Every structure is written in structure tokens, then in C-alpha cells.
A and B are shown apart, each in its own frame.
Chain A
């Protein structure tokens, strides 16, 4: 699905596509409707195969979230005009990509990785993280944010914000169940 989204996006990014707005809009509408139906099919299949109430409840939330995004897009696309073509196109493909990434993330759940939430007060601090012995890797988003797919190891998290002191904390996912680190930043 991710590959499909990327290749179709490239085609629809061509300059002449904006002039053929109505035709392109139809393509987008059909694609969104197809993707939405596909999510419903996967959902019903998953529900048949799920074994517990908790699993079904989680699946309900997971699939409904994706479906709602598509429904919202379907309603919106019909009302948009040619000037907003680029915006429509990006929203649609962002939804496809999110859908694909959500599936990948769930499929990868069996792997030994986890997502680490980094929160700070005040928000908007720059986040870096590393394993001991490595240099810091910069995270693209500022707090509050989530670093995804970290391996089970002891991670060192650093937050930096102007006018505040730098802070560093370690997180050991094999000892701490709650994968969130909180920082209360102090003024310099």
C-alpha cells in the first residue's frame, strides 16, 4: 500500500494534473473509497480471527480511526475546488501512508521494539537519544513526541530548550513498563 501511495502520488504530482482537476479528483475519490472498503474487509477478517474481548476492542479503535480518516476525506474531496488540488492530493496520500504505516507498526508488534514517549514541561524541547557509547541522534520532532521502533536496550534521552538547562535521562524498557520519560525543565 505504501509503494502504491508513493508511485501514484508521483504521477498525480505532474504539473498537467492540476489542469485536469476534475478527472484527478475522481481518481482520488475512487482510491479513497477503495482504500476505505479494503480497511472494512481487513477489519471484519481480523474480528473473525481475534480471540479475546480486549483484542477486539483494540481492533475496533484501530480500524475505526483509519476508517474515520477516509470518511472525512471522502466528504471533503467532493467540496474542494481546483485551487486546493495540491492540498487535497497531499491529504489523500498522507492518509494512505498513515494507513500503511499503521499496518506495518501492528505487524511489527511481535518484534522486540517499543515506542518511547518523551514529554517535557514546558513543551517544545529538542530531543536527542542514544545508546551508551554512541553519539546522540537527533529526533525530528520536539516534545511532546514519540520516538518509534526503539530496540530493547537502555536508551539515553536528552532534551534541550533555549533558556533552560539541558537534561538527560535513561530509560530501560526491560525494567520499566511505562515507556514514557518526563522532563521538568528548569530555567538557566
Chain B
């Protein structure tokens, strides 16, 4: 177990999984936890805001995202022995790269959300329902009115899964959801990784090479 959970760095410094996770009590650790738990935290916010923290895909996808974010924190522990982890330039490169990927993910998530996520207001209940639609409408949807906006269609027919499958082609709904989830994961996992690297580098101490 000790050989699995603690790796010796190039300069002989060893950290264990326990040491690493203890560091999650620090500011960087708090940020990592907050990012990794975004899919859960999103549920605490109003619907219109929460769709930017986690897309309206359901609880199974939410659980998958959290588990993957948790795995990232564990996987990153095992790079503590890599040469880049002890060099100043290597650390900077790791942070910049994961941050750039996170930014790319965030942008693609926003674009995909803009294209396939729709928020429908129900003023009488003071509620907003957010749903993920598809890229392509069905003939049935066109037969109602091809000029109708997505919001009008959902308002007319309702926001249930059954109605969404009736109004948008099955494959296009599936692809839309996959695109949304993939872009979200690109953001979430890389953002988690950036914060995680900060925790790891903090645990390892100052870099020993330039």
C-alpha cells in the first residue's frame, strides 16, 4: 500500500495520499473541492443560474461528473513524481495547459448551452424549467409551425421528456446531450485539474529545478 500511495519525488521528497488530501483543507484545496462539487452545488441555485453550473441533464449525469472530478484529484496525485512536478517551468506549463483547456471547455459549454438549452418560465408558479433540446426538429414539430421558436414550442407542448422526443429528432437530442456533457466535462475536469495541481505543488514545496 505504501509503495502505491506514496511516491518518491526526483529529489527524494515523499508525500502520501493522506498528506495530499489533507492539503485540501487549504485555500487551493477549498477551490478544488468547490469546482469538483459544482454539479452538486448547482442544485442550490435558481434554475436560470444553475444551468451555467451544471447543464439540465439529470442526476445520473450529475453523479458521473462528480465521480470523474473526484478521480481527477486522485489521478493527479500520481504525477507528483513526474519531472515537471519539481521544475518551475514544468509546473507553470501544467497549470497554463489545464487552465487553457478549462477555458476552452467553458467556452464550448457556453456555446453548446446557447444552442441546445432552453429555459421556460412558468410565471404562475414562479418557476423556470430548463431542458436540453436537440439540434434538429421533427416533421411533427414543423407541422405545428415551422416559424415557432423553441421556447414557443415548449410553451405550447410542455417540457416533459416525451414532448422533447416528439419535437426534436431522437439522434439530434442524443448528440446535443453528448456535446453538452463533453464540453462541460472538458471545463470541469480541467478546472479541477488546475486547482488540484496547485494543491499538489503546494504539498511538494518549492520547485527544485528551473
Residues of A within 8 A of B (CB): 112, 131-133, 151-154, 172-177
Known contacts A112-B129, A133-B140, A133-B144: A153-B156 contact under CB 8 Å: yes
- B160 neighbours in A (Cβ, 8 Å): 151
Shortest Cβ distance from B160 into A: residue: A151
Binds A, one of B72-80, B119-127, B192-200: B119-127
Q: What chain B residues lie within 8 Å of A153 (beta carbons)? A: 155-158, 163
Q: Which residues of B contact A151 (CB under 8 A)?
A: 158, 160, 163
CB<8 Å pairs between A and B, sample of 28: A112-B122, A112-B125, A112-B127, A112-B159, A131-B156, A131-B157, A131-B158, A132-B156, A133-B144, A133-B157, A151-B160, A152-B125, A152-B129, A152-B158, A152-B159, A153-B155, A153-B156, A153-B157, A153-B158, A173-B124, A174-B121, A174-B122, A174-B124, A174-B155, A175-B123, A175-B124, A176-B124, A177-B124
Given contacts A132-B157, A133-B143, A151-B163, 8 further A-B contacts (CB under 8 A): A131-B156, A131-B157, A132-B156, A133-B141, A173-B122, A173-B124, A174-B123, A175-B124
Give the Cβ gap from B130 to chain A, nearest Cβ, in Å: 13
Please indicate the chain A residues that have their CB under 8 angstroms from the CB of B155 in the complex.
153-154, 172, 174
Minimal Cβ-Cβ distance residue in B for A179: B124
Interface residues of B (CB under 8 A from A): 120-125, 127, 129, 140-141, 143-144, 155-160, 163
A59 CA / B123 CA spacing, docked (Å): 26
Question: In whole angstroms, how far apart are the Cα atoms of A86 and B79 in the complex?
Answer: 77
* Chain A to chain B: the 3 pairs with minimum beta-carbon distance, closest first: A153-B158, A151-B158, A133-B144
> Which residue of chain A is the closest to B143 with respect to CB atoms?
A133
A-B contact count (CB 8 A): 46
**Docked CA distance A24–B141 (Å):** 56
A172 to chain B, nearest CB (A): 8
Given known A-B contacts A133-B140, A133-B143, A174 and B125 have beta carbons under 8 A apart: yes
A57–chain B nearest beta-carbon distance, Å: 21
Q: How far is the CB of B139 from chain A (nearest CB, A)?
A: 11
Complex: chain A residue closest to B162, CB-CB? A151
Looking at the assembled complex, report how far the CB atom of B192 sits from the nearest CB atom of chain A, in whole angstroms.
33
A174 to B156 CA separation, bound complex (whole angstroms): 10
The docked-state distance in angstroms from the alpha carbon of A154 to that of B153 is 10
B169 to chain A, nearest CB (A): 16
B120 / chain A contacts, CB cutoff of 8 Å: 174
- Expressed in whole angstroms, the minimum distance between the Cβ of B164 and any Cβ of chain A is 12
How long is the Cα–Cα vector from A85 to B159 in the complex, in angstroms?
47
Q: How far is B123's CA from A172's CA once the two chains are assembled, in angstroms?
A: 11
Chain B residues with CB under 8 A of A154: 155-157
Chain B, residue nearest A173 (CB): B124
Which residues in A have their C-beta under 8 angstroms from that of B163?
151, 153
- Assembled-state Cα–Cα distance A177/B125 (Å): 8
Bound-state CA distance A148–B25 (Å) is: 52
With the chains together, A31 CA to B17 CA distance in Å? 61
CB–CB A132/B144 < 8 A: yes
Query: Which residues from chain B contact A175 at a C-beta distance below 8 Å?
Result: 123-124
How far is A151 from B129 in the complex, measured between Cα atoms in Å?
Answer: 13
Taking CB as reference atom, which chain B residue is nearest A154? B156
- CA gap between A176 and B124 in the complex, in Å: 7
| Bound: A173/B144 CA distance, A | 20
Q: How far is the CA of A177 from the CA of B124 in the complex (A)?
A: 6
How far in angstroms is the closest Cβ of chain A from B205? 52
Question: In the complex, what distance in Å separates the CA atom of A175 from the CA atom of B125?
Answer: 9
Write the chain A residue with the least CB distance to B144: A133
